[in-house]
Structure 1
Amino acid sequence: MAFVLKLDRDPGAELARVMRGEVNSALRLLAVTPRDASAFRAAIHDARRALRRCRAALRLLPPDVAIDTLLQPLRAAGRALSPLRDVQALLETLAQLQQQQPALLGSAHPALLQRLARQVRAGERKHVDGVLAATVVLQTLATTLAGWRPEVTHAQLWRGLRRGALRAARAAHCAHEHADEAALHRWRRRMRDHALQLELLSGAWPLVLASEVAERKRLARMLGHGRDLGILRMHVRRLRSEHLGRLSRDSLLQRLRHARAALLHDAHALGARVHAEPPRALALRVTRYHAAAQA
């Protein structure tokens, strides 16, 4: 199901349709058995993406609309899956590095892969109960959504887009000023929300807005990869062995630090372009696209 509102229809009914679709999709994904490790990891990743889409959609609504009854179970389901997803993300980060920058890991890759794979398997056994907890929460939420239909206008959606863009721009400014882990993580989350909200409203002019959504998602992925590199460095520091293959632990840490710094430099450069348009102007432009399409 495309994550796009049909803007020629009632906005409240469309939001409800999208929310129900994402929650039902997450429930189907969480039914995957852990015996197939690869499919299980993909299912957890995709289920968490569905929950993020739901939260981003809800944040388009006006502040005076009571959405806590929906946001709280979404957060609870996300928290139940987070420990499981965090351990799985290590292997994906390692695979991405080996594919895109094989020289970075060098001879350390086989030893590091073996060590991290053991940690991931242990983490999956420890946190697999989170899937059951998330499933129970989402089943209750699906029942709630069956009769949910918010009263919302197109104008309120445009204002929601502006709020999301403003939150992302402020987080980007804070990350540029301070560059600490908390600020970068906040920018990533705000950027991800903003990209999803723009995607949801991209029906105003699909061909034009699709490329803008893609660049915002690319920025969010870059920030996420930067965070994963930081977590990987933390795990490497904890290794008892001084050598990984023919590469020393200190050398690998230095390589990872340089790779992360280069990635964040590129992220700030892309962010400067993504946030160049003021949030008010972006919302007004999308409003005009929709009005022209309706005319």
Structure 2
Amino acid sequence: MAYQFEADEDPDAGVRRIVRERIDDAMKQLDRTGDKQHKGIHEARKRCKEIRAVLRLTRRPLGAHYRGENEAFRDVARGLASSRDAQAVVEAWDALRDRFGECLATDGDGIRQGLVARRDALLAETGDIGASLESAREALSQARARIAEWPEIPGFPDLAAGAARCYRRGEARLRDAQRGPSIEVLHEWRKRVKDYWYHTCLLRGVWPGIMTAWQRELKALSDCLGDDHDLMVLRSALLAEPERYGGDDRLTVPLMHMGQRQEELRAEAFRLGRRLYSESAEAYQRRLAGWWDLWRDDCQQQY
């Protein structure tokens, strides 16, 4: 089933179903091999992030269980991060080449070859990827078994409060980013935007037309911040070892275009952010609670 609550299930059943389905899919993704392995690892890490967003919705009713579960899924994603992060730098270069075309054509293949060599070297340093994958599978299997031990989630008000808490944190990180958009501050804001996006996906059913539009704009904001982050990591990689990529002279034009692209991405991110965080967290919580009640009433009337 989709990553969203269904009208015919209560919040407790919905949370458990969604988390189990995300775990099952993560384990399936980890079974990919060959050229598809990088993609599978990326998708498995996304499933862990989706699960952590569900946990943040249910933080209050989960009580003492929350911290341990959140850390467990965080650790699974971190254990797979080196593979994904090394590949993301290559993908950031490819995206830059796609955008600026001939402006980066001169010696661009040499830079990409250097980035691929860097990726392969980093992966070699991490040791046996098979061991990392097996460790992730075991941790996911144990986490799935623990779901039955979670306390009952009494109703939607707890979930609405969890969503509002994450929204409030996103508001604060937006203000931080506007004051000083460092790599750390922007990364923290992006994590909160991802929560907001995931929660909108989970609650899409309460008003599909509105929530789908909201979901689309949040995805655009998350992508802007993600692309900006990848470019910052790419810049750091190039500047750390310029000789690997042909020396400082060869990097002058690419670095200039990276800066230009980051300015574009941040301008769009702040434009979207001001709109998506334009209401108070209290108003956001009331809106979700009201729409949920109306949705459930409509469902009951149909049956």
Instruction: Give the corresponding residue for 2:67.
Output: 68
Are 2:45 and 1:42 equivalent residues in the alignment? no
Q: Map 1:1-295 to 2 at 5 A.
A: 1-33=1-33, 36-37=34-35, 39-63=36-60, 65-66=63-64, 67-127=66-126, 128=129, 129-146=131-148, 148=150, 150-237=152-239, 238-240=241-243, 243=246, 248-295=250-297
Q: 1:47-80, CA deviations, whole angstroms, 9 ceiling, x for partnerless residues?
A: 0110000000000014362212311210110110
- Alpha-carbon distance between aligned partners in 1 of 2:150 and 2:17, rounded to the nearest angstrom: 9
Q: 1:233-266, CA deviations, whole angstroms, 9 ceiling, x for partnerless residues?
A: 112212216857xx73223222212221221122
Q: CA 1:166/1:130 → structure 2, altered by over 3 Å: closer, same or farther?
A: same
Tell me by how many angstroms 1:279 deviates: 2.1
> 8 Å contact 1:5–1:14 — kept in the other structure?
yes
> 8 Å contact 1:81–1:130 — kept in the other structure?
yes
Tell me by how many angstroms 1:187 deviates: 0.2
Tell me by how many angstroms 1:222 deviates: 0.7
- Equivalent AA in structure 2 for residue 226 of structure 1: D
Q: Secondary structure at the match of 1:203?
A: helix
> 8 Å contact 1:77–1:137 — kept in the other structure?
yes
Q: Secondary structure at the match of 2:80?
A: helix
Tell me by how many angstroms 1:122 deviates: 2.4
> 8 Å contact 1:158–1:283 — kept in the other structure?
yes
- Equivalent AA in structure 2 for residue 28 of structure 1: K
- Alpha-carbon distance between aligned partners in 1 of 2:244 and 2:30, rounded to the nearest angstrom: 37
> 8 Å contact 2:231–2:258 — kept in the other structure?
yes
- After TM superposition, the structure 1 stretch with the greater mean CA deviation from structure 2, 247-256 or 172-181, is 247-256
TM-score normalised by structure 1 residue count: 0.91
> 8 Å contact 2:58–2:162 — kept in the other structure?
yes
Q: CA 1:140/1:276 → structure 2, altered by over 3 Å: closer, same or farther?
A: same
Tell me by how many angstroms 1:29 deviates: 0.8
Q: CA 1:288/1:111 → structure 2, altered by over 3 Å: closer, same or farther?
A: same
Q: CA 1:7/1:242 → structure 2, altered by over 3 Å: closer, same or farther?
A: closer
- Equivalent AA in structure 2 for residue 240 of structure 1: E
Tell me by how many angstroms 1:183 deviates: 0.8
Higher helix fraction: Structure 1 or Structure 2?
Answer: 2
Q: Secondary structure at the match of 1:263?
A: helix
Tell me by how many angstroms 1:104 deviates: 4.9
- Equivalent AA in structure 1 for residue 243 of structure 2: R
Q: 1:189-229, CA deviations, whole angstroms, 9 ceiling, x for partnerless residues?
A: 11111110121112111121011011112111110110110
5+ residue gaps, structure 2, are 298-303
- Alpha-carbon distance between aligned partners in 1 of 2:32 and 2:237, rounded to the nearest angstrom: 29
Tell me by how many angstroms 1:286 deviates: 2.4
Structure 1 runs of 4+ aligned residues shifted over 6 Å read: none
Count of residue pairs brought into register by the alignment: 291
Q: 1:140-173, CA deviations, whole angstroms, 9 ceiling, x for partnerless residues?
A: 1122225546323111111111111111111111
- Alpha-carbon distance between aligned partners in 2 of 1:22 and 1:285, rounded to the nearest angstrom: 27
> 8 Å contact 2:56–2:162 — kept in the other structure?
yes
Q: CA 1:272/1:179 → structure 2, altered by over 3 Å: closer, same or farther?
A: same
Q: Secondary structure at the match of 2:60?
A: coil
- Alpha-carbon distance between aligned partners in 2 of 1:5 and 1:250, rounded to the nearest angstrom: 49
Same amino acid, percent of matched pairs: 25
